[in-house]
């Protein structure tokens, strides 16, 4: 009888130990991961301004490659600089950092002002234009869900075929 009791106690201890081990394993899977496990942090001192090809518009890549797929770019638009009517294939998300960027949608008199703390999202193929109307540069984050292309359009909404870099006149429309 004593051997049976010892055997049963050993089995119970082994089962309790196995249960505790499984519980610890499950908890470690649901526990928060350290920052090195895929988190992304970025600050403007980590980037280098690049010429966007449009007068007064400068970019820094935060993540991804805008020419290859989804990306986040940090933009600086000089005071008074404007980007004429255009559209992009993917959706575009804007998050304001400084200055006042005025955005207008095609066939609408309404304008939206992107300022510090502002958020805006436009679906792909939405024709719009933008201008930095503040005395300081307009800085903002631009997130694109796909390859970030640029299709300029004329005042009738017809696409203007690119001839190389956009001229100053094309970006001031």
Please report the pLDDT score of residue 12 as a whole number: 44
- Distance of alpha carbon 173 from alpha carbon 31, whole angstroms: 53
Q: What would you measure as the largest C-alpha separation in the chain, in angstroms?
A: 99
Please report the pLDDT score of residue 34 as a whole number: 66
DSSP state of 159: B
The H or E element that residue 140 is part of is strand 138-144
Identify the bridge partners of residue 57 per DSSP, sorted by sequence position: 77
CA 107 to chain centre: 27
Please report the pLDDT score of residue 26 as a whole number: 60
- Distance of alpha carbon 166 from alpha carbon 160, whole angstroms: 10
Please report the pLDDT score of residue 102 as a whole number: 98
Pick from 170, 166, 130: nearest CA to 154: 170
Order of all β-strands in the sheet with 138-144:
50-51, 57-64, 71-77, 138-144, 92-98, 119-122
- Distance of alpha carbon 125 from alpha carbon 120, whole angstroms: 15
What is the pTM assigned to this prediction?
0.72
Instruction: List the chain residues with pLDDT less than 50.
Output: 5-16, 166-173
Please report the pLDDT score of residue 122 as a whole number: 94
Beta carbons of 77 and 132 less than 8 angstroms apart? yes
Q: What is the number of alpha carbons within 13 Å of residue 60 lying toward its C-beta?
A: 15
- Distance of alpha carbon 123 from alpha carbon 127, whole angstroms: 10
Please report the pLDDT score of residue 7 as a whole number: 44
Please report the pLDDT score of residue 38 as a whole number: 74
Please report the pLDDT score of residue 39 as a whole number: 81
The H or E element that residue 136 is part of is none
């Amino acid at each position: 009888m004593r051997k049976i009791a010892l055997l049963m106690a050993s089995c119970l201890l082994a089962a309790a130990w196995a249960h505790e081990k499984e519980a610890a394993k499950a908890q470690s899977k649901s526990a928060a991961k350290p920052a090195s496990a895929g988190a992304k942090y970025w600050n403007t001192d980590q980037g280098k301004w690049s010429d966007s090809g449009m007068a007064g518009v400068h970019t820094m890549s935060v993540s991804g490659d805008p020419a290859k797929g989804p990306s986040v770019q940090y933009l600086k638009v000089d005071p008074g600089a404007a980007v004429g009517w255009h559209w992009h294939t993917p959706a575009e998300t804007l998050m304001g950092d400084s200055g006042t960027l005025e955005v207008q949608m095609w066939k609408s008199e309404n304008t939206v002002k992107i300022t510090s703390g502002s958020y805006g999202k436009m679906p792909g193929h939405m024709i719009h234009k933008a201008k930095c109307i503040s005395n300081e540069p307009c800085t903002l984050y631009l997130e694109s869900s796909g390859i970030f292309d640029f299709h300029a359009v004329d005042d009738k909404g017809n696409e203007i075929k690119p001839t190389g870099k956009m001229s100053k006149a094309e970006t001031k429309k």
